[in-house]
Structures are given as structure tokens and as C-alpha cells.
Amino acid sequence: MRVIYKTNCTNPGCGHSWNITVTRDDLSALASKLVCPGCSRGGGQLRSEGRLKATSRTSYYRASLVFPTLDGITGKLKDALATAGRANTR
């Protein structure tokens, strides 16, 4: 079983589209920072935007490579800290 993300780069002026294939063995690729092969901008994150179709072996998703702003990163850190705080109080 594998997932293919039909990915579009959201870097202004790029818009490169390509497929990212993810198998069970490289799930960490989704969590790591990705580099656009079109404009070589790094630090991107894969954002799934819904399933296109699925066969018995492969699922296809539409996705965007987004480049989080500093605000976005800070917000995520706050969320993570809040989650960790709740977990510690239980």
C-alpha cells in the first residue's frame, strides 16, 4: 500500500507540480521538511487537500507544499505546548 500525493508548490512564481510517493517505510518524509524540485525552496510541509481516488494498492491525494510563516510556526508551538500541558495534568 502506498500513497501518491499530486503536489503543487505554493511558492509564489513557482507552481511546480510533481508526485510524492509515500510508502509505509517512509512516513517520516511527511513530517520532515520538503524541498520543491521546481524552485529548490526548502522548509516546505506537505498539506493534504483530499483524496482523488484509490485503488487496492495506491491512494491518490491532492496536496500542496506550503511554506509556513513564522506566525504559523509559533502558533503550532503554542498548540503543542498547550497539548503537552493538558497531558501533564492528567
Task: Point out which residues bind Zn ion (CB under 5 A).
Answer: 9, 11, 14, 16, 36, 38-39
In the complex, minimum distance from the CB of residue 11 to Zn ion, in angstroms, rounded to a whole number: 4
From 20, 71, 60, 64, select the one nearest 45 (Cα to Cα).
64
In the complex, minimum distance from the CB of residue 70 to Zn ion, in angstroms, rounded to a whole number: 19
Q: Which is nearer to Zn ion, 30 or 41 (CB)?
A: 41
Q: Which is nearer to Zn ion, 20 or 36 (CB)?
A: 36
Q: Which is nearer to Zn ion, 38 or 59 (CB)?
A: 38
For residue 36, give every residue at least 6 positions away whose Cβ sits within 8 Å of its Cβ, in sequence order, or none.
Answer: 9, 11, 14, 16, 42, 44, 65
Query: HSE of 76 in the Cβ direction (CA atoms, 13 Å)?
Result: 5
Tracing cell 505554493 back to the chain, one arrives at 10
In the complex, minimum distance from the CB of residue 15 to Zn ion, in angstroms, rounded to a whole number: 7
